[in-house]
Amino acid sequence: MPHAAQTYTYLRPSAVHSTAAGDTLSLQTSGGVTPAGAAEHPRIFEGFLTSPRIAASGLLCVADTAAARYYRPERPASLDPVVTGDGGRLRFESFSGCCGVYARLDLLEEALDGDDVRHGTTNVDVNAPLADALNRIGPGDPLHLEVGPDELTVTTFDGPVVEKKVPLPDRWLRGFAETQVIASGFDLRAELAAADAVRFLRSLPRPGAARGASRGALWVVPAGRTLRTTARPVPGAVCLAGPERLAVLARVLRHATGLRIYGPPVTAGSEPAASAWEVLLPGMRLTLTLSPDAARGFSGEGGVLDALASEGSADDAELVSVLLAWEPTVDVADLAAQSGLTAGRVRAALTRLGTAGRIGYDAAEAAYFHRELPYDTGRAERHNPRLRAAQALVEAGAVRLGGDGPATATVTVDGHVHRVRSTEGRQTCTCRWWAEHRGGRGPCKHALAVRIARRAG
């Protein structure tokens, strides 16, 4: 698996400091991006949390996800969460080490009491002593939050820094791109009151307790005030693959005010699909997005490939990127009006920007949001295996346009001829990949190669 060494550099470890005036949660930052450009240790927020214990539990859920591997759990994994400030809220995000679970904690304006939230994205240090301290925060304890050191500390600091070096797999970066494409196709499918949500979630298999039950995808459907599980998809159902992956939500269930579940449209013959599980908390939302299978990471879903191969998407993305400004929600209609592009071209541009980690999607608000990942995010596009393979086929002259008609092309690989047909904007192929996935994981390399060749011609 291709990966680079990611180095986090913090001025000191994140910690909870106790003083006569109360406790302060000091989250140290590393290598961020702000409206002023790159920053080594950006300061995103300073103020109080209105519900400290709940916020601490939510942050631990995000950190737990970053440290978890639900597929091949024997391999260690720990990538520090990402936090984005957009002027009104804080978003903490992480992926599991296997790239099959995406976690996000939204601290909304009601959860924050302090100075205006600044704009920017950075990593935050979450270490074992900090986790222990967060677990000890009481329900009535006031908690002051600092995300990033103050300017005086940055300019005068001359002590030893804290460095962490961890592998940064390309698939982890691609996961950020794929989840925003997948989530943009979700709709609200069910909403449960707090007590019903807690009962349902606590009835699910726990990690290691029922491995056999989690091998096949479960489906859930609304049933009165609760949900019932079924082994087969039906209209209105939501896929729940690897239900033990929701166990991390146990940290916040006592504080939950409700549960919302999102998923794509489903029919009786649907294949397993991703889903999002959003726990409502006072002034906050904690969302887990699950891949269609515990052994299947988001990085291979292929939702971004059409946009990457589309003619003009690179130029459109460059134009749209100028208009982004860490807004809490990115309005497609506004961007279309400002840019002069159609709404469809704006969405394709946002998808392409998502491959650089610059766009996320919030199913609760049915809207995109802006972030700037503090990584070499261009790697996600440069090292996409299917895109690289398609480009290699074009360069090798393996693509012949025309064939049985203007809508048909052939791609020859090692003496085998694959036929790609385009009908009403949809491509099909005679290869094994298409036979197995039927477009459910994006286009195959042959269809991508045809699109690239047609664009070049």
Distance CA 107, CA 307 (A): 31
pLDDT reading at 405 higher than 80 = no
444 is a domain residue: yes
Distance CA 194, CA 249 (A): 13
324 is a domain residue: no
Give 285 or 402, the one with higher predicted confidence: 285
Q: Kindly state the tokens that stand for 444.
A: 């195959």
Q: For residue 430, give its domain range.
A: 384-456
316 is a domain residue: no
Residue among 321, 293, 271 nearest 438 (CA): 271
Q: What is the DSSP letter of 231?
A: S
47 is a domain residue: yes
168, 184, 213 - which closes a domain: 168
User: What is the per-residue pLDDT for 214?
Assistant: 44
Cβ pair 173, 179 in contact under 8 A: no
pLDDT reading at 273 higher than 50 = yes
User: What is the per-residue pLDDT for 1?
Assistant: 46
Cβ pair 393, 411 in contact under 8 A: yes
User: What is the per-residue pLDDT for 212?
Assistant: 39
- 34 phi-psi bin (left φ>0, alpha ψ -120 to 50, beta other): beta
25 is a domain residue: yes
The HSE-up count of residue 256 (CA atoms within 13 Å, CB side) is 26
138, 168, 198 - which closes a domain: 168
168, 198, 215 - which closes a domain: 168
User: What is the per-residue pLDDT for 386?
Assistant: 79
User: What is the per-residue pLDDT for 379?
Assistant: 57
Q: List strand residue ranges (DSSP E) for 315-443, in order.
A: 359-362, 367-370, 399-401, 408-413, 416-423, 426-429
- Tell me what the pLDDT averaged over the chain comes to: 85
Angle between helices 343-354 and 313-323 (to 10 degrees): 90
Distance CA 278, CA 207 (A): 20
441 is a domain residue: yes
Report the SS3 class of residue 335.
helix
Residue among 326, 235, 218 nearest 275 (CA): 218
143 is a domain residue: yes
Number of structural domains, the chain?
Answer: 2
Give 48 or 433, the one with higher predicted confidence: 48
Which tens digits make up the pLDDT trace of 230-266? Answer: 999 999 999 999 999 999 999 999 999 999 999 999 9
370 is a domain residue: no
Cβ pair 33, 20 in contact under 8 A: no
Which tens digits make up the pLDDT trace of 121-172? Answer: 999 999 999 999 999 998 777 899 999 998 877 777 777 889 988 877 777 7
